[in-house]
Structure 1
Amino acid sequence: MKKTNYLTQGAIIAALYAVLTIAFAPISYGNIQVRIAEALTILPFFTPAAIPGLFVGCIIANIYGGNGMIDIVFGSLATLTAAYLSYKMPRKWLVPLPPIVINAIVVGFILNYLFQYPLLITMGWVAVGQIIACYGIGYILLLTLEKYRDKIFK
């Protein structure tokens, strides 16, 4: 039963991430982006199933995004790394921090490489979008889900 819950949670998280990113495609891709699905990066606080779930969801979203293999591979690996680090955060207010820092760096480099956008400016814009998604939406989601932790994440 535990394995089934883990797989189910991971699959639902992957589907939510992909659907939210694609549904909000106009603001999910590019040098100035607020990927609403990044709010879900707080889910490793509740379940380790979110780690592979976010990774798979990001792969699907990045395939749709059209920036090619570099984004599919490195953008998705950035999400995997950030999800693992979020899972390891010692305090809940730190949970959104890894996706902000890692995506600012990795996605900033990807966009610089693909489109020759200025690196530091691009990293800054990605960080701003991540702060909006991860703290502005995600942290509120974390505080809300925390009230229902035992009912949702068994």
Structure 2
Amino acid sequence: MIAATYAALTLIVTLFLSGLAWGPIQFRLSEALCVLALFTPDAIPGLTLGCALANIVNIALSGTGTLGLLDVVFGSLATLLGATFTWHFHDKPKLALVGPVLFNALIVPAYLPLMLTALGFTTIPFTSISLSESYILVYLFGAMTVGIGEAVVMYALGMPLYHALAKTSLSDRLRSTPTGAERGPKV
């Protein structure tokens, strides 16, 4: 359910808001769902799979071809690590939401220049920085913009979502759901 929701939200934003979910300046609204990892570690695989699914569909939509696999692998890794960090610090929600910001800001800009170049971009939008000029400049710009976008999503959307869910019976059910070894063998 989480994977489907994450993927659908990402694709809806892509279709109606022209790529806010991908690129050097991005606000992937679906990342706000990482707050679900504040309630249960079971959210982590769903978030990761949802990210992978959205990135696979984006290969077809954007025409990135095999370079799009970088986003499938490393973008999903960023979500996996961010959601894992969120669960690890679930008792400190403000700190926990730093995880998705940090991992997306560090990982996504490392491969983004390759994908953008494949799509025909030669400069970073709204700047005169050439994608082929300086990997370090492009990476730092990407780390800043992806990090800012992720922070806006996590704290402006994710934190209110967390507070809203915390007031519902859903949060109690998620917290009480047995995980992993606690479930025991299937009979």
TM-score by length of 2: 0.72
Answer with 107-116 or 49-58: which moved more: 107-116
Unaligned regions of 5+ residues in structure 1, if any?
1-11
User: Superposed, which structure 2 residues align to 1:63-142 within 5 Å?
Assistant: 63-66=56-59, 67=64, 68-89=68-89, 90-115=91-116, 117=131, 118-142=138-162
1:144 correspondence with 2:133: no
Taking the TM superposition and a 5 Å limit, the aligned residue runs for 1:46-61 are 46-61=39-54
Match of 2:3 in 1: 14
Which letter maps to 2:77? L
Identity %: 38
The alignment yields a C-alpha RMSD, in angstroms, of 1.5
Which of 4, 8, 12 pairs up with 1:23?
A: 12
SS of the residue corresponding to residue 28 of structure 1 reads: coil
Output the CA distance in 2 between the equivalents of 1:110 and 1:61. 17
Deviation string, structure 1 residues 65-114 (Cα, Å, up to 9, x no partner): 22411110111111111111110014111121100010011111121333
The structure that is helix-richer by fraction is 1
- State the distance in 2 between where 1:50 and 1:152 align: 9
Unaligned 5+ residue runs, structure 2?
118-130, 132-137, 177-187
Inter-partner Cα distance in structure 2 for 1:112 and 1:119: 8
How much does 1:21 deviate?
A: 0.2
CA distance in 2, matches of 1:136, 1:125: 16
CA contact (8 A) 2:23 2:116 kept: no
Aligned structure 1 segments of 4 or more residues deviating by more than 6 angstroms: none
Output one character per residue of 1:9-57: Cα deviation in whole Å (capped at 9) or x when no partner.
xxx1111100000000121111111000010011111111110000000
TM-score (norm 1): 0.87
1:34 alignment partner in structure 2: 27
Higher Rg of the two aligned structures? 2
Report if the CA contact (8 A) 2:39-2:174 is conserved: no
Q: Give how far 1:152 is off.
A: 6.0
2:122 corresponds in structure 1 to none
